[in-house]
Structure 1
Amino acid sequence: MPANILMRADHTDQTDEDLAIRISPLQALWQNGAVRKTGILLALLVIWQVYAVRLDNQLLFPTLTDTLSALWRSIGDGTLLARIAASLKVLLIGYGVGVALASVLTIVAINTRLGTDLLETLTATFNPLPAIALLPLALIWFGLGVGSLVFVLVHSVLWAVALNTHSGFRSVSQTLRMVGQNYGLRGLRYVFRILVPAAFPTILTGLKIGWAFAWRTLIAAELVFGVSSGQGGLGWYIFENRNVLDIPAVFAGLLTVIVIGLVVENLIFRTIERHTIQKWGVQS
């Protein structure tokens, strides 16, 4: 190999080493997305505390320390944990039923033209309708209880998941479809072995949107159910403490709603993504 080429290679290696040396440990840490997001959250908490201290009005905006104190107190006496368990139980039922119905509708739609027309008609009709607007009907049809909550949750989940899943299936390349057909895959085997892996990024997006819709719909519905029946989950916890003007406890309930959302998004869905999309190599 000529000497000038060797000199260029050595120079390139030295340059890469110099760049690696120039990056400080703090810079390397900052390149981690989780660290940056944690820093943003900490900054928001500091802003919360500073603003609340300057405002000095617990009825309008309690401090972070008072909120955490109320949160710890509610966890200690078991009240908040019971409310969280009640909300998550209803959420899992409604979310599971909604995803199951969306799967059935989408499989029918992808295999038949009539199914496609049915899905498009239903989504165009019911998707613009807010789930919470169905709560009065749910109260009439199912009465006070879990049935009414599950009904509005299914509506909030169904259309978002179905739309994204159907869109993902339709975006699968014709070449991949032909490969599956050449291997003799038909029906459910064709859907789960060809379409689902290829369209899973879009499907997962639909699952995330459905979860977000279901979570906020549940809290809003529980506020109404709390007024009606005096029982419920996190929504009722927030409403109950608002009635007695325990505003730090109200903020503790809101903070709990946010924390659960962050945990589901950054722990559960990220784990699913790591073991499916990234593993299969279909990340867009």
Structure 2
Amino acid sequence: MSDLTAVWRSVSQRRDERLPIRPRWRNALQSPALRRALILALLALVWEIGARIQNNPIMLPSFSQTVAALLDGVTAQELFASSLASLTVLLKGYLSAVALGLALVSVAVANRFARDVLTTLTAMFNPLPAIALLPLAMLWFGLGEKSLVFVLIHSVLWPFAVAALAGFETVPETLRLVGRNYGYRGPAFVAQILIPAALPALLTGLRLGWAFAWRTLIAAELIFGVTARQGGLGWFIFQNRNELLTDRVFAGLAAVIAIGLLVDGLVFRTIEAATVRRWGMQK
């Protein structure tokens, strides 16, 4: 037995000696965070060079000017307050849409007629841009937060419902039978069996819903800036565009992008790593 162990160690050592040694920089590039940081740095460099060649800060401010305007807006708390106002409204509409979507999909899974109703509604309303409903929302709910929440619910509900229904329908029948054998019915069956099994599809729907809601909110706030003189980041961008402060306009756009990256990296990717990747449901 000891002779076999010695032979195996000798073979393994020779194999390791033949393997090429990777440089440290190549090992460092295996980190997704570092690769993303390098991509962002490259884009910032191209932006800076292009702005200096163009040499017209009103048309295209440089990356350094935009960063300075961004820091100035955060320091003066104007940009921070606008971002907080936008996120507050966004969370209200987003969470309401997710809760409503889960309720509708749960009923659709249990009843064939309800499933037909849901699929018909998603086919009707999913292609309809949420911002197109803003005039009706303003007519029904006035120039306030309720109108924004209404269009946000529309922008999130239908893509999330499509993803959730597709995920629930792909749950294996074996898992469904196991749940029924354990006595799960109704909401307990959805929470204990369907949601964990369909989690990759649900996360995809949540991510799509977040992207749709974020861009819909900024567009709606731009319109509210014209009508109601209020709003969050959208109003910040609109107001500075009127004053030809293009560096502050780009700072507002940079804040929109930065918040989107932070939510994707800190929320959705963290949930994926702790659940579906850890459980082997996704590579």
TM-score range, shorter chain: over 0.9
In the TM superposition, 1:11-50 aligns within 5 A as: 11-16=11-16, 19=19, 22-50=21-49
Paired AA for residue 168 in structure 2: F
Equivalent in the alignment of 1:65 = 64
Equivalent in the alignment of 2:97 = 98
Equivalent in the alignment of 1:81 = 80
Paired AA for residue 64 in structure 2: T
Equivalent in the alignment of 1:160 = 159
Gapped regions of structure 2 (runs ≥ 5):
none
The DSSP-based 3-state class of the residue aligned with 2:277 is: helix
Q: Deviations over 1:192-216 (max 9, x none)?
A: 1111111000000000000000000
TM-score, normalised relative to structure 2: 0.95
Q: How far 1:183 sits from its partner (Å)?
A: 1.8
The DSSP-based 3-state class of the residue aligned with 1:129 is: coil
Equivalent in the alignment of 1:140 = 139
Equivalent in the alignment of 1:116 = 115
Equivalent in the alignment of 1:221 = 220
TM-score, normalised relative to structure 1: 0.95
Q: Deviations over 1:203-252 (max 9, x none)?
A: 00000000000000000000000011111100000000000000000000
In the TM superposition, 1:256-271 aligns within 5 A as: 256-271=255-270
The DSSP-based 3-state class of the residue aligned with 1:181 is: helix
Paired AA for residue 202 in structure 2: I
Give percent identity, aligned residues only.
51
Q: CA RMSD in A?
A: 1.8
Q: How far 1:23 sits from its partner (Å)?
A: 1.1
Q: Deviations over 1:80-114 (max 9, x none)?
A: 01100110000000001110110110010011112
Distance in 1 of aligned mates of 2:15 and 2:90 = 54
Distance in 1 of aligned mates of 2:4 and 2:257 = 60
Q: Deviations over 1:107-147 (max 9, x none)?
A: 10011112101111110111110000001101101110101
Stretch moving more, 269-278 or 48-57: 269-278
Q: How far 1:255 sits from its partner (Å)?
A: 0.4
Change in CA separation of 1:2 and 1:272 when aligned onto 2, cut-off 3 Å: closer
The DSSP-based 3-state class of the residue aligned with 1:279 is: coil
Change in CA separation of 1:272 and 1:132 when aligned onto 2, cut-off 3 Å: same
Q: Deviations over 1:51-104 (max 9, x none)?
A: 101110011110011111111111111110110011000000000111011011
Equivalent in the alignment of 1:188 = 187
Distance in 2 of aligned mates of 1:130 and 1:116 = 23
Distance in 2 of aligned mates of 1:102 and 1:60 = 42
Distance in 2 of aligned mates of 1:4 and 1:82 = 70
Paired AA for residue 146 in structure 2: G
The DSSP-based 3-state class of the residue aligned with 1:201 is: helix
The DSSP-based 3-state class of the residue aligned with 1:277 is: coil
Distance in 1 of aligned mates of 2:181 and 2:118 = 28
Change in CA separation of 1:106 and 1:8 when aligned onto 2, cut-off 3 Å: same
Distance in 2 of aligned mates of 1:41 and 1:111 = 46
Distance in 2 of aligned mates of 1:147 and 1:275 = 35
Equivalent in the alignment of 2:148 = 149
Q: Deviations over 1:4-42 (max 9, x none)?
A: 9965752333323553x7112111101111111111111
Q: How many residues align?
A: 283
Equivalent in the alignment of 1:242 = 241
Distance in 1 of aligned mates of 2:275 and 2:258 = 25
Q: How far 1:282 sits from its partner (Å)?
A: 2.4
Gapped regions of structure 1 (runs ≥ 5):
none
Distance in 2 of aligned mates of 1:62 and 1:107 = 50
